[in-house]
């Protein structure tokens, strides 16, 4: 018998010979897939339905979502301009520093700095 996880909360479900399993954490009832087949999984897709839910809330950071931001005095390394715009974004976990994206006003060169 293989292990089975709750599709809603990811809790490990008890092994049982019953046709349905109930999650002790959230109460969701799930078909006992261990009775009908054996499934081999790797960490990348295990539990896949829960992983898909987590990925659906991932923030996409692009030049459009960051925007141009305020203008500051900072030397561009690609041209003689001393004016750039910047945007500060929290890409990593909340207990780590943010990332600052800079864009040169004159040549459009972009770079980032991790705080």
Give the DSSP per-residue string, 23-64.
-TTT--EEE-GGGT------GGGTTHHHHHHHHHTPPP--HH
- So what's the pLDDT on residue 105? 92
Q: Is there a contact between 85 and 68 (Cβ–Cβ < 8 Å)?
A: yes
Token digits for 5? 């996880």
- 25 plus 10 within the same structural domain: yes
Q: Is there a contact between 39 and 22 (Cβ–Cβ < 8 Å)?
A: no
Q: What is the tally of structural domains in the chain?
A: 2
- So what's the pLDDT on residue 93? 77
- 21 plus 69 within the same structural domain: no
Q: State mean pLDDT over 80-100.
A: 86
What is the domain range of residue 29?
Answer: 1-58
Write the pLDDT tens digit of every residue in 8-60. Answer: 898 999 888 888 999 999 999 988 887 776 666 666 655 667 777 766 655 66
- 68 plus 46 within the same structural domain: no
Vertex 66, ends 61 and 68: CA angle to 5°?
150
- So what's the pLDDT on residue 38? 61
Distances (CA, A) of 95 to 37, 55, 90, 91, 98: 42, 20, 10, 11, 9
- 76 plus 35 within the same structural domain: no
Q: What is the mean pLDDT of the chain?
A: 81
- 47 plus 79 within the same structural domain: no
- 53 plus 17 within the same structural domain: yes
Binding residues: 6, 9, 23, 26, 76, 79, 104, 107
- So what's the pLDDT on residue 61? 63
Residue 1, pLDDT above cutoff 60 = no
Q: Is there a contact between 6 and 30 (Cβ–Cβ < 8 Å)?
A: yes
Binding residues for Zn(2+): 6, 9, 23, 26, 76, 79, 104, 107
Residue 73, pLDDT above cutoff 90 = yes
- 4 plus 37 within the same structural domain: yes
């Amino acid at each position: 018998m293989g292990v089975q996880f709750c599709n809603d909360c990811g809790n490990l479900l008890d092994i049982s010979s019953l046709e349905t399993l109930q999650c002790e954490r959230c109460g969701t009832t799930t078909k006992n897939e261990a009775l009908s087949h054996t499934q081999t999984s790797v960490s990348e897709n295990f539990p896949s339905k829960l992983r898909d839910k987590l990925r659906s809330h991932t923030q996409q950071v692009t030049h459009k979502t960051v925007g141009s931001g305020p203008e500051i005095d900072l030397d561009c390394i690609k041209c003689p301009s001393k004016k750039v715009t910047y945007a500060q974004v929290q890409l990593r976990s909340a207990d780590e520093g943010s990332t600052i994206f800079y864009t040169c006003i004159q040549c459009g060169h972009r770079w980032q700095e991790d705080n």
